[in-house]
Amino acid sequence: MGEQPIFSTRAHVFQIDPNTKKNWVPTSKHAVTVSYFYDSTRNVYRIISLDGSKAIINSTITPNMTFTKTSQKFGQWADSRANTVYGLGFSSEHHLTKFAEKFQEFKEAARLAKEKSQEKMELTSTPSQESAGGDLQSPLTPESINGTDDERTHEVTQNSEPRAEPTQNALPFSHSSAISKHWEAELATLKGNNAKLTAALLESTANVKQWKQQLAAYQEEAERLHKRVTELECVSSQANAVHTHKAELNQTIQELEETLKKKEEEIEKLKQEIDNARELQEQRDSLTQKLQEVEIRNKDLEGQLSDLEQRLEKSQNEQEAFRNNLKTLLEILDGKIFELTELRDNLAKLLECS
């Protein structure tokens, strides 16, 4: 294939609201893979991201594009062809910086490719202008240079990047929330798989009933054929015809037995699929229980955090009151010391006078 991924990362994808042109609208529920693709046949760079089978980003890089960092973990660029603005939220500043560097690198490569294409167009048009009486050669079209936006896309998978770390004070609560979100995502995936397997199970059950009916019909037909063979063997006057018919019947019986064997194998496969569906159901129930336990622990941590905050506030109030009392005591002590000093001076004066 001409188009291959050359760099990939993971980020939350957003698009600007087409109505307000101010607010960001998330196009992915969680972090997805965002990849740079290079089409060697057309010399074109594209940014592509898939959420399942849906392409949520399909942007061709042009020399006029600019990637802007709006915060430490968020960046955006405008795509005039798609008439929208894309935004990416990364898990760390390092990933944002790396993506921006690649954007600038591939933007420069797109500019060089465009200049080379223009030079080829000029070289192609110059001989046709100088030739006398010859037909003008048609220049290259923009579609032949840049390609179209209908090309096939590929998803490049990587390990999920963690989101930004929470603050130290809220670490237990945020950690439990992250675990809860992880189990919720797993539960949603299992629910989707369970729905698919349930539909397949219903269809398989219907097929099993149909095959059982066919199997019973085949068995009845086999018994009828065996009886017919016995009757024909009893007729000696038609021995040759009986032998021929018997061979045909035996062949038919073998074919029916092979068909029956295949149906039995298919029934076994369906039974295995049913067992797998039951295992997935048990896993879903287990994950649901774990999610409930995480939610209970989350509530406990919230209660502990609230209690600690109240204790801290009470301790701060007590310390403030203690400081105020100590300050008052120091003021009183200073006054007493001053009075004692005056008393000492007066006693000294009395002693001198006496």
CATH for 54? 2.30.29.30
Domain count across the chain: 1
How far apart CA 335 and CA 209 sit, in angstroms, is: 104
Round to whole Å and give the CA distance between 63 and 110.
Answer: 6
Q: What pLDDT was estimated at residue 18?
A: 87
Cite the beta strand spans of 118-180 per DSSP E: none
In a domain, 30, yes or no: yes
For residue 69, report the phi and psi dihedrals to the nearest 5 degrees: -85, 115
Are 214 and 263 in contact by the 8 Å Cβ rule? The answer is: yes
Give strand pairing partners of 139: none
Q: Is residue 91 part of a domain?
A: yes
Q: In this structure, is residue 38 part of a structural domain?
A: yes
Which residue numbers in the chain have pLDDT < 50?
Answer: 1, 128-174
Q: Which domain, by its residues, includes 94?
A: 5-118
Give the CA dihedral 91, 71, 78, 101, nearest 10 degrees: -70
Please give the Cα distance from 194 to 181 (Å, whole number).
20
192 domain residue, yes or no = no
Predicted pLDDT at 239: 60
- What is the C-alpha to C-alpha distance for residues 304 and 311, in angstroms, rounded to an integer? 10
* HSE value, Cβ hemisphere, 13 Å, CA-based, for 207: 14
Q: For the whole model, what pTM was predicted?
A: 0.37
CA distance 130 to 134: 9
Owner of token pair 């009986």:
242
Calculate the CA 203 to chain-centre distance: 30
Q: Which amino acid is at 81?
A: R
How far is the CA of 297 from the CAs of 102, 177, 292, 300, 302, in angstroms?
43, 10, 9, 5, 9
Is the residue at 199 inside a domain? no
Any domain includes 94: yes
In a domain, 20, yes or no: yes
